[in-house]
Amino acid sequence: MKSQARVVVIGGGIGGCSALYHLTEEGWRDVVLVERDELTSGTTWHSAAQVTNFGANQVMVGLKSHSIRLYKELAEDPDYPINYHHATGGLRLASTQDHLDGYRHFISLAKGMGVDFELLDPAECRRRHPLITTDNLLGALWDPLDGDIDPAQLCQALARRARKAGAEIYRHTPVTALTEKPDGEWIVHTDKGDIHCEMIVNAGGYRCNEIGAMMGVELPVASMEHQYLLTEPIPEIAELDFRVPLLRCPADDFYSRQEKQGLLVGFYEQGCKTWGLDGIDPNFTNALCPDDLDRCIDTMEGTFRRLPCLMEAGIHSVINGPITYTPDGLPLVGKIPGKRNAWCITGLRAGLGEGGGHGWLLAQMMVRGEACYDTWPLDPRRFTRHATVDYTALKAVEDYQNEFRFHMPHEYRPAAREMKTTPLYPVLAGIGAAFGVVNGWERALYFKPAPDFEEQHSFRFNNTFDVVAQEVAVVQNAVGIMEVSGFNRYEITGEGLDDWLDGIVCSRLPRRPGKVALTYLLNEQGNIKAEATIARLAPDRAWYGAAAAAEYHDLDWLSERLPADGSIRFENLTDDFSILVLAGPRSRDVLAKAAPGCDWSREAFPWLSVRPVAVGDAEVLAMSVSFSGELAWELHIPNGQLTAVFQKLWAAGQAFGIRPFGLYATESLRLEKGFRHWKADLITEYNPLESALDRFVRWDKDFVGKAALENMAASGPRRCFVSMTLDTASAPAQPGDSVLSGDRVVGSVTSAGWGHRVGCNLALAFVDPPFAQDGSLLSVEVLGEAVAARVGEICLYDPAFSLVRA
């Protein structure tokens, strides 16, 4: 066994084998995989192994498409062919209008990734799958490339190719410990000796937290028992001259595919069961859980109604085995938070169908620094300290129970809520706040007009439309107050602060104490990595603020770039402070009344300024910044004094018509201004020039990614960021919807919604350069219709920014 390697992958399921193979494809040959037993002896071997193009975002569609292409190539390898039923086709059934609307959106989203889905009526569904009934069926989404694959053969094929490229695989080699060296490299201790390596990959499947414990981390992964049955031969299938399509049903919580002359039928029962939370038997390998079909009876009844042939079919065997889940159902593929040179590829609940793509993207991240897509939907750092295994188990149960029921727009499901709240949470709840979640933090979405008001989630404009319009009107005409909990906040101190910050942001820094600037951080490829508000508090002290979701992401990015001499230090204050935003033309009046000791005038406290202010007995940090486009201040308040400051402002604001507003109103306000949302409009696939942020680039200094950005500037944009108005008042576009010129896809929507101040349906998007000019006439595919769209100014409301300076 080798004692030195560039990378050690721990785990020999689909995740580990795919990562190993793709690392060799990227040119890294000195790579090793260690497996405690045989390859595929965890979850992989008993997978139902369905391979679909369907995904809820473009990253998932893209990686699944890669898997399909790769698996087809492997199946056609004359030296080592594998069993892959490619392009059998699959039906995702629709029983409600919401199902149909969702599928229309997913068709538009997939089109931008070069994937063609189709919406079928019930008669066509029955024609393609003669065994189903069409009772209560409105139609189905058709995936022509849906299929299934032999899981063991797939992994062996990937392992074979990796070995041929120079990789080594050590089976029956359990890892006993991991040691992190001072230089960030690792020692992998096994029962057969130690391997020193530059990087490690946790591909441990349902044992990923056993590996995590060896490195002092807990990954948000929990396992669920999952059952499927294999039938005896079914005469109706034997009589057909084609394979029946795969089925997935969001109403009856089942899936099926053909297996020989019978069916494989799997269930997502409501009375589901977690697995392994109290520890996993070391000898549980190539093993299954006891059969327990009784808990699936209710689900089976609906399944039999849809597939009557099952009522006469015998059961050949039952498979009940563990599958892994994360809190949002998407895998963990990327850097392990807080650890150098440590990566993971785990939580792959649908690992076989997606695994080829996951390993592909992980290898790119490790070798190139970034993948071809912005991989934030997969990034382990999207979860922070609230995401324990116990929390994950609660979310896993909820996700399992809704396996084929996609999230509706703005739907925040109820399991494991109130994990992060501020002292103001009950106060806001008491005045009607409806809450959503941002990085575990409860945030007010809107304020209910009546106690019994409930949002009716839809892909169309819904019953919150007028509620949001009223909140926007208050901000535009009087004054609104909003809490922003969990805002990512670091205090950075030290000598040489200017030089260090100047080298990691491409933008102008606030040099003088008391000033604020919006800045951008690029990766080595010159594309956008992060957005940060820098507030200069003293010559050697600054606050770094960013989106709540960016907490662990930005923490890693900054930590990796700290000077080795310890001259720069930073402290995470995210949990210690919250923000109250006062926005609107009367905001200055409210502040003058609540905090008369400060001069709030335009001359004394201009836009993009920061200073400490006393509000009652509380000392807060006030910043004159605005995400709404109106005159506004952010008050950064210690959480222990948050309620007192709110009450002081609320009382002072009564004379000026103060009302609360939430995230929905903020989204409308920022769309009209063309303000970006991190990981929606700001992604690693585009640089600041393509993102229409060239005014934030200072070419007269050195910064991370400058050389790459200069090269891209010389070669011209790949796509351009635009704002469009849509000619419909019935539904907003959704992120990922395709932008069309005629029948040709020329871009994708990043954010969208109604602009209540300008009275327009708005969409932000990246489009091909020839279509980015002001006045370009395009269309956006919204719920199956090509809606006319016109490219206009990115900032549609107060483009001179006179209001924020008022």
Average pLDDT for 564-588: 96
- For residue 286, the model assigns a pLDDT of 95
pLDDT (0 to 100) of residue 721: 98
Do 404 and 250 contact (CB within 8 A), yes or no? yes
Q: What is the pLDDT of residue 33?
A: 98
Helix (H) or strand (E) holding 187: strand 186-190
Strands 222-231 and 315-325: antiparallel
pLDDT of residue 455: 98
CA atoms in the 13 A half-sphere facing the CB of 206: 28
Q: What is the DSSP string of 224-239?
A: EEEEEEEEPP-HHHHT
The first and second tokens of residue 367, run together, are 């070798």
Closest CA to 463 of 487, 445, 488, 485: 445
Q: What is the pLDDT of residue 336?
A: 98
Which single residue is written with the structure tokens 């002896």? 41
The pLDDT confidence band at residue 282, using thresholds 50, 70 and 90, is: very high
| Average pLDDT estimate for 18-22 | 98
CB atoms under 10 Å from CB of 86, counted, come to: 15
Cα angle value 687/689/693 (rounded, 5°): 100
Whether the predicted pLDDT of 430 surpasses 90: yes
Question: Do residues 604 and 613 lie in contact, with contact meaning Cβ atoms separated by under 8 Å?
Answer: no
Contacts for 252-257: CB closer than 8 Å, 24+ residues apart: 252/299, 252/302, 252/303, 252/305, 252/306, 253/299, 253/302, 253/401, 253/403, 253/404, 254/299, 254/300, 254/302, 254/303, 254/306, 255/48, 255/50, 255/404, 256/303, 256/307, 257/48, 257/50, 257/88, 257/148
Cα angle: 363, vertex 353, 275; to 5 degrees: 95
Look at residue 713 in the predicted model and tell me its pLDDT.
Answer: 98
Count helices and strands in the chain by DSSP H and E runs: 18, 39
Q: Give the pLDDT mean for 659-684.
A: 98
The residue type of 200 is: I
Task: Report pLDDT digits (tens) over 198-242.
Answer: 999 999 999 999 999 999 999 999 999 999 999 999 999 999 999
Mean pLDDT of 66-89: 97
**Could you report the per-residue pLDDT of 677-717, keeping only the tens digit for each?**
999 999 999 999 999 999 999 999 999 999 999 999 999 99
- At 286, is the secondary structure helix, strand, or coil? coil
**What is the pLDDT of the chain when averaged over all its residues?**
97
**Using one digit for the tens of pLDDT, what is the confidence trace for 463-511?**
999 999 999 999 999 999 999 999 999 999 999 999 999 999 999 999 8
Q: Write the CB contacts of 245 (distance below 8 Å, at least 6 apart in sequence).
A: 88, 89, 90, 91, 128, 129, 142, 146
SS (H, E, C) 627-643: CCCCCEEEEEEEHHHHH
Domains in the chain with CATH codes: 4-378 (3.50.50.60), 488-572 (3.30.70.1400)
The distance between the two most distant Cα atoms of the chain, rounded to a whole number of Å, is 87
> What are the pLDDT digits (tens) for 780-806?
999 999 999 999 999 999 999 999 999
| Percent of the chain residues topping a pLDDT of 70 | 100
Q: Tens of pLDDT along 744-762?
A: 999 999 999 999 999 999 9
Give the separation between CA 773 and CA 133, rounded to whole angstroms: 51
CA-closest candidate to residue 146, choices 76, 91, 69, 80 = 91
Measured CA distances, 797 to 263, 571, 733, 757 (Å): 58, 37, 20, 8
The pLDDT of 554-566, averaged and rounded, is 94
Place of tokens 């400490």: 612
Cβ atoms of 85 and 147 within 8 Å: the answer is yes
d(CA 614, CA 600): 12
How far apart CA 573 and CA 576 sit, in angstroms, is 5
Identify the helix (H) or strand (E) that includes residue 469: helix 465-477
Which residue is listed with tokens 């594309």?
Answer: 527
SS3 51: strand
Contact 361, 377 (CB under 8 A): no
pLDDT, tens only, 511-550: 899 999 999 999 999 999 999 999 999 999 999 999 999 9
Q: In the predicted model, is pLDDT for residue 351 greater than 90? A: no
